[in-house]
Amino acid sequence: MTVLNKARISTGAPAVPARRRKPISARAYKVFRVVALVVVVLFLIAPLFWMLLASFKTNVDIYDAGKSFLFSPTVENYANVLQRNNYFVFITNSFSVAFVSTALSLVLGVPAAYAMSRFTMHRSALVVLMARVIPGVSLLVPWYYVFSNLKMVGGFEALILSHMFVALPLIVYIMMSYFDSLPLELEESAQVDGLTPIGAFRRITLPLSVAGMATAGILSFIFSWNNFMFALVLSGSKTKTLPVAIFDFVSYASIDWGGLMAAATVVTIPIMIIALFTQKYIVSGMTAGATKG
Amino acid sequence: MKRRSIVKYAAVAAVLSLGLTACGGSGGGETKASGTVRVTLANHVWTEGIKASIPEFEKATGLKVELTQLGEDQLSDQYNVKLNAGTDEIDVMMYRPLQEGKAFAKNGYLADLTSKVSQDAGWDWKDYQDGPVKASTVDGKVVGVPIITEREVLYYRKDLLKAAGLAVPKTMNELQAAAKTIAATSPDTAGFVARTNKSAAVTQFSSFLYSFGGDFVDGSGKSAVGSDAAKKAYAFYGGLIKNFGPKNVSTDMSWPEAMAVFTQGKAAFYTEADSLYKNATDPAKSKVADNVGFAALPAGPAGSKPYNIASWGLAVNKASSNQDNAWKFIQWATSKERTLAAQKAGVPGARSSVWADPAGTSTYPKDLAEAIASSAKAGVGHDRPEVITVGKAREIVGTPIVSTITGADASAAADKASSDFQKFLDSEKK
């Protein structure tokens, strides 16, 4: 109770004078903004930075607090990851699964979203959303059962299908709100000019939706790249993806922290680069529908 | 024009999906042939040795081995999904007899190997130590062959003991006194370190429990973690860490963290599984590699009673349609020669004959080999409660460890844990 009261006081107290106070000067605001940004960035970057440093350390040095920042760097961990453990295979696997599942989901999802948006098919939209709401874990056993009876476990198709199951609803929902925001009049005037409804979709709406599709595609790509659970059960030794392969550095009586961190860096960097160059789309995807009634 | 373009798109989509099915088609199909044994193993030094020699097995038998290798927890997750779905795509499985053996056996995942192990006199099931055999036997049926064993031993720093003029402790009281001396004389070094995470610490606490005369469950199947012996053991283990352990000790240390404290030179004594010894003696991982000594667990009021258990075993999936070949693989992988080779690579096995063979301990530090030999004789065959839902039981009986480390009364914590544990045992019987 005392804790609660304190919390109430501490949040309540500054709020009251703040209202009376004159607007803070622009300079003070700037300083505050820089400090706040630095704090937040440090907080978010610290684990990544630690990972990067650790990937250049030997296993003895990683635990040595005295060598947190000053140490003699080694590239042995990366040699281990990329040469001996042949991570290029896993990178290729991850990339092809992410790419194909995203592409197929776009091919199926965009027209579906268009239909649902233009013909206000709320119930169908709800059913699609269900797939997104069901926790993936509860699907794993039935999926495994079905795929193993179809002799598909360990192949790329099962992985791609499972990732599509999550990517499709994501794409449908982002695209639906995107299509909702496009004025219907554009298509109507296209039809007046002689296009069929499908022609209008293809020639007018689709080109206007490239930004939306980019958003949806990137988000689904990132999901697929990071997915661990489906790949753990449905992939085989030939189709192992990066998140599963990372655990090869953890074994029962010894953990290769250096190798693990180097592998984690290898997994993180491609997706960070993609995210960096496409952040405009990612942010617009996250706020999609936020400002619309 | 317009209609043709739709057709074009449909064609592209069809080709895409067809192409997919064609290019990824290596998933199953040909593995149905009974000449292939599908083996699932955990990441382990043992596995590395086996992997390198699989070509020998394939050459000798004409069988093909398809190997899947995963981390410990990932392996466990995968078994839970796949075996639950009744898969026949796993023939041989590496599993943890004490952690999941009982649950797997009760669920009918593991084939009964009783008649198979007794058939081949040359392979010799009688050669296996009692503790590990007990661990891989459920309800009188042999369901697995132990491959890797562990005992708790005392790791210590030779240089620190020498500097302080201390002898290697033979009893728990001596250990306490020595830890106290070192903690008092060198402020940067803890006297003692061990696992502190409530679940992870249970196995290393178990040897203390037995050495104080207790156990998790008594002869009649009732909870015994509230007994006087158990209370003393909790107070002793928690007290060692609280009083002479690292400053501001975390109560979330499993072996990697506790081992790091020791290998960074920050503790004088450490009780841990012998199978981890290379982490302490390998200069690439340990700063104190040259100064690590090993001894048998110090004796408590009931003597020195470390666990001697099978941490990993090989089993055959009951749903496999390839059980005979699976057994052939196990027989080969657990033969005396293979066990000796693995043991030389630093993986303690379960065969008495290999331990008796001087070659079997030739690669071990001499004091460690002696500690293992004496531990194997007096060893107890379990290091955690022998129940079905082991994970939950460990959380319950491990809680008093954390309580005593953080300064709570061991007796009250043990009483509470005992009543919780009794409820848990009752619920499992239903």
Asked whether residue A74 is assigned to any structural domain, the reply reads no
Task: Please indicate if any CB of chain B lies within 8 Å of the CB of A247.
Answer: yes
Give the global pTM.
0.78
DSSP state of B157: E
Residue B377 in 3-state DSSP?
helix
Is A154's CB within 8 Å of B27's CB?
A: yes
Residue A38 sits in the same domain as residue A133? no
CATH number at residue A179: 1.10.3720.10
Residue A246 sits in the same domain as residue A124? yes
Cα A21 to Cα A31: distance, rounded to the nearest angstrom: 18
Residue A93 sits in the same domain as residue A129? yes
Which of A74, A96, A150, A254 would best serve as a mutation to test chain B binding (most B beta carbons within 10 A)?
A254
**Structural domain of residue B133, as residue ranges?**
33-150+309-378
Select from B67, B72, B77 the least CA-distant residue to B40.
B67
Residue B109 sits in the same domain as residue B162? no
> Which chain A residues have a beta carbon less than 8 Å from that of B73?
247
Those residues with Cβ within 8 angstroms of residue B279's Cβ, 6 or more apart along the chain or in another chain: A253, A254, B259, B263, B285, B286
Asked whether residue B3 is assigned to any structural domain, the reply reads no
Asked whether residue A44 is assigned to any structural domain, the reply reads yes
| Window B:214-253, CB contacts with A under 8 Å | none
Residue A24 sits in the same domain as residue A123? no
* Alpha carbon of B261: minimum distance to chain A alpha carbons (Å): 8
Task: Please indicate if any CB of chain B lies within 8 Å of the CB of A152.
Answer: yes
User: Could you tell me if B268 and B156 are in contact, meaning their C-beta atoms sit under 8 angstroms apart?
Assistant: yes
Asked whether residue B13 is assigned to any structural domain, the reply reads no
Is B72's CB within 8 Å of A64's CB?
A: no
Residue A41 sits in the same domain as residue A86? no
Residue A87 sits in the same domain as residue A34? no
Asked whether residue B17 is assigned to any structural domain, the reply reads no
Residue B292 sits in the same domain as residue B395? yes
Is B27's CB within 8 Å of A158's CB?
A: yes
CA–CA–CA angle B414, B257, A44 (5° rounding): 110
Asked whether residue B411 is assigned to any structural domain, the reply reads yes
CATH number at residue B281: 3.40.190.10
Query: Which residue matches tokens 């460990």?
Result: B394
Q: Looking at the 3D structure of chain B, how many domains does it have?
A: 2
> Which chain A residues have a beta carbon less than 8 Å from that of B20?
100, 104, 156-157, 160
Residue B119 sits in the same domain as residue B258? no
Residue A95 sits in the same domain as residue A187? yes
Residue B86 sits in the same domain as residue B118? yes
Residue B233 sits in the same domain as residue B91? no
Task: Please indicate if any CB of chain A lies within 8 Å of the CB of B87.
Answer: yes
Cα A26 to Cα B22: distance, rounded to the nearest angstrom: 64
Cα B177 to Cα B60: distance, rounded to the nearest angstrom: 57
Residue A45 sits in the same domain as residue A186? no
Helices A122-133, A156-181: inter-axial angle, 10-degree rounding:
140
Residue A20 sits in the same domain as residue A91? no
- Side-chain-side CA neighbours of A204 within 13 Å: the count stands at 22
**Structural domain of residue A104, as residue ranges?**
79-286
Is B85's CB within 8 Å of A158's CB?
A: no
Query: Which residue matches tokens 């400053």?
Result: B247
Residue A123 sits in the same domain as residue A258? yes
Domain edge (last residue) among B356, B378, B400:
B378
Residue A162 sits in the same domain as residue A214? yes
CA–CA–CA angle A63, A67, A69 (5° rounding): 115
> Which chain A residues have a beta carbon less than 8 Å from that of B86?
145
Task: Please indicate if any CB of chain A lies within 8 Å of the CB of B108.
Answer: no
Tell me which H or E stretch contains B200. Answer: none
As for the ipTM of the complex, it is 0.71
Asked whether residue A263 is assigned to any structural domain, the reply reads yes
| Window B:119-158, CB contacts with A under 8 Å | 148
| Window A:58-97, CB contacts with B under 8 Å | 58-60, 63-64
Asked whether residue B9 is assigned to any structural domain, the reply reads no
pLDDT by residue for chain B (430 residues), tens only, comes to 445 555 555 555 444 444 444 444 343 333 444 789 999 999 888 998 999 999 999 999 999 999 988 888 888 888 988 898 888 889 999 999 999 999 999 999 999 999 999 888 889 999 998 888 988 999 999 999 999 999 999 999 999 999 999 999 999 999 999 999 999 888 889 999 999 999 999 999 999 999 999 999 998 989 999 999 999 999 999 999 999 999 888 899 999 899 999 999 999 999 999 989 988 998 888 999 999 999 999 999 999 999 999 999 999 999 999 999 999 999 999 999 999 999 998 899 999 999 999 998 899 999 999 999 888 888 888 999 999 999 999 999 999 999 999 999 999 999 999 999 999 999 988 7
Is B77's CB within 8 Å of A232's CB?
A: yes
Residue A28 sits in the same domain as residue A102? no
Q: Looking at the 3D structure of chain A, how many domains does it have?
A: 2
User: Could you tell me if B214 and B402 are in contact, meaning their C-beta atoms sit under 8 angstroms apart?
Assistant: no
Asked whether residue A63 is assigned to any structural domain, the reply reads no
